[in-house]
């Protein structure tokens, strides 16, 4: 049976290639060329279905796709088409980039302080968002008050030289880190009975990676597992893919229900002896939906695995929103039985400067699995609590200062502002013909998709970008979102007006906007061969690194 399937597939590939060759003479537009090649390669979709049905391993199909792309004519079409897209993006980046010549080597003689600050100021003028003014950008800028920023900056400067790796030399920042963890634990379910612990990290991704590695090692130790698996929703943050790749954990993706929550029936089917962790979000980055964490806790306890809550967005908002009687949200913190770890970002709604997050654990036993201890190094006995060895004492200190400066009342007020703004925004978007909201929860994220076949949501985004808006572009389903912050609340009314105008204009759009994202996201959505999309993303990343 398997040989028959493979033989038929190979014959299918040959037909595809012949069709592809016959189209080479008529392809002249870069984006259309990739779409056409993708459409022809989509004949391999039946193989994808076989993979999902577990007829044979996915690597076989990946190799078939790779082989097709390796054929000279296919490679020529794809490379030529990619080149056209990249050239257009390159021109766009260069025209919008910093105009001063890029520094490529050390100056022969060091510059004086005035010259350095002048150059820094000139470069800053190209930054899109003014942190002190209303922003048209989703998320990104969270703290806007000059006084608060000054408190954080001044505190950072006092401890910029400090390194918590050397506790004996810098006990001050070690104490601050402990106090940061204590303050966060106190509003996330910690008490005298449940002694929540944790560490400060450099950001949400590090917090997630750290928690997932610790969970893997902990459960593998307890259950003697050598091929660990973790269950995540299709809406889980991209950091889980990094964790799977870095730590050799099989990623078991399950779908979400119509309301955007992870589908419990799929989780129950996916759980097995090798499951080390279930991953939940509070809320999800794409749609602002809080997963059914109480139900997931029951499953995790029964499966004897860990349950991580990604509250990087919601950690400093949901605890205070939940006190609003008009808002109904699932329970999500350490008060839920089965929750073993959480990640929360202090550099988002905690209003600290960038480079700061917290990973929390339900017990010190679990936290110890995040440590690295080395006993036979020639440099002596070594212990490091986080993946990073040396860390910035300044970042820890300014995080500590931010939390103390805002206080419980400040976080309550910020959460209330978000509830009011998000409720109004959701009502406004509901009234725009051709759009439909995704998700039902009132959180900081509002997501919407097209409900009209004549409205391409990616074209809508490009038109919004041309008007100065920077929204988040989503896929599966194609959608947009805005993460509401202090910086953009006052601009939401104007955003709704521009959004309605963009939706109306998109119905009559004859061609995509030059330099926009619509062709790229259309390509990503249409190609069954994700390898082409991955290659394109890597090429775009190269452009970003080289042209900034």
pLDDT band at 538 (very low <50, low <70, confident <90, very high): confident
Backbone phi, then psi, for 167, in 5-degree steps?
-60, -35
Per-residue pLDDT, averaged over 308-313, amounts to 98
Q: State mean pLDDT over 5-32.
A: 38
- pLDDT, one tens digit per residue, over 374-397 is 999 999 999 999 999 899 999 999
Phi, psi of 67 (to 5 degrees): -65, -40
CATH code of the domain in which 543 resides: 3.90.1150.10
Residue 75 structural domain: 2-96
DSSP state of 426: H
Residue 81 lies in a domain: yes
pLDDT of residue 133: 55
pLDDT at residue 164, as a whole number: 93
Q: Is residue 113 part of a domain?
A: no
pLDDT of residue 536: 78
Which has the minimum average pLDDT: 16-20, 200-204, 247-251?
16-20
Return the higher-pLDDT residue of 23 and 244.
Answer: 244
pLDDT for res 125: 79
524 pLDDT band, cuts 50/70/90, is low
Does residue 7 have a pLDDT over 60? no
For the chain, what is the mean pLDDT? 85
Task: State which of 73, 96, 119 marks the end of a domain.
Answer: 96
pLDDT higher than 90, residue 132: no
Rounded to whole angstroms, what are the CA distances from 57 to 42, 50, 253, 254, 361?
19, 9, 16, 18, 36
Whether 82 shows a pLDDT value over 60: the answer reads yes
Boundary residue ending a domain (64, 96, 128): 96
3-state helix, strand, coil in the chain (%, to 5): 50, 10, 35
Q: Show Cβ contacts of residue 214 under 8 Å, excluding neighbours closer than 6 positions.
A: 341, 361, 366, 367, 369, 370
Does residue 5 register a pLDDT over 50?
A: no
Question: Do the Cβ atoms of 38 and 535 come closer than 8 Å?
Answer: no
Indicate the residue among 61, 96, 131 that finishes a domain. 96
Assigned domain for 473 exists? yes
Which DSSP symbol is given to 97? Answer: S
pLDDT in tens, 213-241: 999 999 999 999 999 999 999 999 999 99
Q: What is the pLDDT of residues 320-357, one digit of tens each?
A: 987 777 788 999 999 999 999 999 999 999 999 999 99
- Quickly state the pLDDT bin for 89 (edges 50, 70, 90): confident
Token pair, residue 455, equals: 């409205």
The total number of structural domains in the chain stands at: 2
Specify if 262 maps to a domain: no
Say how far apart CA 198 and CA 154 lie, in whole Å.
26
């Amino acid at each position: 049976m398997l040989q028959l399937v493979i033989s038929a597939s190979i014959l299918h590939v040959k037909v595809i290639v012949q069709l592809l060759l016959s189209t080479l003479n008529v392809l002249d537009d870069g984006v259309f060329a990739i779409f056409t090649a993708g459409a022809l390669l989509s004949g391999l979709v039946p193989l994808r279905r076989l993979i999902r049905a577990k007829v044979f391993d996915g690597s076989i199909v990946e190799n078939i796709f790779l082989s097709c792309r390796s054929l000279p004519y296919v490679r020529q079409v794809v490379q030529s088409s990619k080149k056209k897209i990249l050239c257009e993006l390159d021109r766009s980046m260069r025209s919008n980039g910093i105009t001063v010549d890029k520094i490529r080597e050390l100056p022969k003689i060091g510059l004086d302080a005035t010259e350095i600050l002048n150059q820094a100021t000139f470069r800053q003028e190209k930054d899109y968002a003014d942190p002190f003014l209303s922003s048209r950008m989703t998320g990104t800028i969270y703290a806007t008050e000059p006084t608060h920023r000054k408190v954080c900056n001044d505190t950072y400067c006092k401890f910029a030289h400090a390194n918590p790796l050397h506790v004996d030399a810098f006990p001050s920042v070690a104490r601050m880190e402990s106090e940061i963890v204590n303050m966060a634990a106190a509003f996330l379910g910690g008490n005298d009975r449940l002694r929540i612990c944790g560490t400060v990290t450099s950001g949400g991704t590090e917090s997630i990676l750290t928690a997932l590695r610790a969970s893997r090692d902990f459960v593998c130790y307890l259950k003697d597992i050598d091929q660990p698996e973790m269950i995540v929703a299709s809406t889980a943050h991209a950091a889980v893919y990094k964790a799977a790749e870095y730590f050799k954990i099989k990623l078991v993706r399950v779908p979400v229900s119509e309301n955007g929550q992870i589908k419990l029936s799929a989780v129950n089917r996916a759980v097995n002896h090798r499951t080390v962790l279930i991953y939940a979000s509070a809320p999800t980055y794409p749609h602002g939906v809080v997963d059914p964490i109480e139900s997931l806790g029951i499953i995790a306890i029964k499966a004897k695995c860990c349950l991580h809550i990604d509250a990087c967005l919601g950690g400093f908002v949901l605890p205070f929103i939940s006190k609003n009687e008009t808002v109904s949200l699932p329970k999500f913190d350490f008060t839920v039985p089965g929750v073993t770890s959480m990640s929360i970002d202090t550099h988002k709604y905690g209003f600290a400067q960038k480079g700061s997050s917290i990973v929390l654990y339900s017990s010190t036993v679990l936290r110890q699995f995040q440590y690295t201890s080395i006993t036979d190094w020639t440099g002596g006995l070594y212990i490091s609590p986080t993946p990073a060895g040396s860390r910035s004492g300044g970042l820890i200190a300014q995080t500590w200062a931010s939390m103390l400066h805002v206080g419980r009342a400040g976080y309550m007020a910020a959460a209330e502002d978000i509830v009011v703004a998000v409720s109004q925004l959701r009502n406004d978007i509901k009234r725009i013909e051709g759009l439909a909201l995704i998700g039902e929860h009132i959180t900081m994220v509002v997501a919407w998709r097209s409900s009209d076949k004549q409205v391409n949501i990616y074209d809508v985004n490009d038109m919004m970008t041309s008007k100065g808006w920077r929204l988040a572009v989503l896929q599966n389903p194609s959608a947009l979102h805005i993460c509401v912050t202090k910086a953009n609340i006052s601009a939401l009314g104007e955003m709704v007006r521009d959004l309605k105008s963009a939706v109306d204009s998109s119905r009559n759009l004859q061609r995509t906007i030059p330099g926009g994202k619509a062709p790229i996201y259309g390509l990503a959505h249409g190609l069954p061969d994700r390898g082409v999309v991955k290659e394109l993303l890597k090429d775009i990343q190269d452009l970003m690194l080289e042209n900034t």
